[in-house]
Structure 1
């Protein structure tokens, strides 16, 4: 073969593995990640089962647990919609059902030590669907900033209206203004970060955007994503209230209080490095903040059942995601690749 002939070969024949090989490698890596997540999930599920306080089991309790699982499950379609909206601003038209399937499967990765497995899973599965890894990473960063901003706003409300009434709060409730300012900064940070990266590091921005500069999120997208995040916290806090009032017979509980205090506990679990899915951290904060309001035993029971129902929701989403995974790339996905 002459040098001229070699120069006409496709790039994949000149040392780059073919796309099918890369696809198989990504698929194997994603499978290994998810199998590890499942193993860790089952271990934690068995470990937490023995900490449940006594419950009057019956049809009523079964319905409450079922509703708790469904309530936790609502986070999956909400996250999928957020991701679709953020990708749309980056010029990636990922179908919602494909986004939903990817989020459903990748969420199991959060139970791996390090609390980053679900992010890695989204990158891997998104790449298989034709979404550039850089754009997935950029949208996840925006999503994270907005999650922390909204949870910060919820935490400020908790400090102002509820934590002062508790005997031992975990945070300084006398100065919520600092947290409020931080929440505002987090809400505006995606706009500033994209603009700074585009101006100071255009090469890096084009690498993430596959040849194009990253696009700033649209204001309407920011408002919609913030609303979806707030809705997710409301849904999860409502599950906490349901468990306390119906499963553990604490009907006088304050619905808004449980939403705000759970947001504080969720944020603590999210921020602690290495805590898979906030495991342990979230429950400890729930016990400390909710114990004085609803009793330590009730708070412990709610924390444990909330964790188990969350795991059940993630397992259900994972199973459905695998069941409805595409057999092969769609034409739209092939065009995006």
Structure 2
């Protein structure tokens, strides 16, 4: 890659880092639904600080860290634990919702529009069901699905940078493959940030689009983007924490 490729990676890392705000906003909505109202700046700070712990082997310490930060801020253990359970449910269901998009990758001669239509139908149904539970649930669901969609599109761009298919019609399938790979990495015990697991799933799902070396380069670029994005989100969380403390002192 030339200089333009590295600039694109930096831009995609910034976009991915910003997309993590959607996770923090979704978590804030879940806490509000559970009776624990917190400010947006505090939610960003707590989420960003704890999120780096997902790179520690075990794949659970980001949740434990968020629990500890919330308890230190005076939030009860029960709503924090429930918010984590709800968040995991939203992320798992959200990842599954993207599965229709990969139909063209695993079913011979399946048209792209079939995956699109199936995805829209199941997504609309799931969001409608979430709003029945409560307004906060519905908004949180939108935030989590939007994060997964943005993450998938970022990887589709990384796939193009690696020399993979740049056909716009294949981008939804690539994004759906990434969402499924992200989900498998999330639920695999012991895999820090899904390392190794996510890449193996992508190699399997994208094997029909490009050669193995291209896919491997794409997953390396994608991993670099997510790590840099998480670091940027962590830095942004520090700024959000300072803003929260300043606002609290002025009251």
- Shorter-chain TM-score category? 0.7 to 0.9
Q: Is the 8 A contact 1:69 1:310 kept in 2?
A: yes
Q: Deviations over 1:141-181 (max 9, x none)?
A: 011111111211212x0454432239xxxxxxxxx9xxx8x
Q: Deviations over 1:168-204 (max 9, x none)?
A: xxxxxxxx9xxx8xx97xx97x99xxxxxxxxxxxxx
Aligned pair 1:88/2:32, yes or no?
A: yes
2-side partners of 1:163 and 1:71: how far apart? 29
1-side partners of 2:182 and 2:53: how far apart? 17
2-side partners of 1:78 and 1:298: how far apart? 30
Match of residue 300, structure 1, among 216, 225, 238: 216
Aligned to 2:107: 164
Match of residue 199, structure 2, among 266, 280, 283: 283
CA RMSD in angstroms, aligned pairs only: 3.0
Aligned pair 1:76/2:27, yes or no?
A: no
1-side partners of 2:104 and 2:25: how far apart? 31
Higher relative contact order (CA 8 A, sep 6+): 2
**Deviation of residue 119 (structure 1)?**
0.4
Cα distance change, pair 319–266 in 1 and its aligned pair in 2 (3 A): same
Aligned to 1:263: 179
Name the count of aligned residue pairs: 235
Aligned to 2:115: none
Aligned to 2:144: 229
2-side partners of 1:328 and 1:306: how far apart? 32
Higher helix content, 1 or 2: 2
Secondary structure of 2:10 counterpart = helix
Aligned to 1:126: 70
Q: Is the 8 A contact 1:151 1:264 kept in 2?
A: yes
Aligned to 2:47: 103
Aligned pair 1:245/2:160, yes or no?
A: yes
**Deviation of residue 250 (structure 1)?**
3.5
2-side partners of 1:235 and 1:327: how far apart? 27
2-side partners of 1:313 and 1:101: how far apart? 15
2-side partners of 1:332 and 1:142: how far apart? 28
Cα distance change, pair 290–135 in 1 and its aligned pair in 2 (3 A): same
Q: Is the 8 A contact 2:22 2:143 kept in 1?
A: yes
Unaligned runs of 5+ in 2: 110-117
**Deviation of residue 105 (structure 1)?**
0.9
Unaligned runs of 5+ in 1: 1-55, 167-175, 192-216
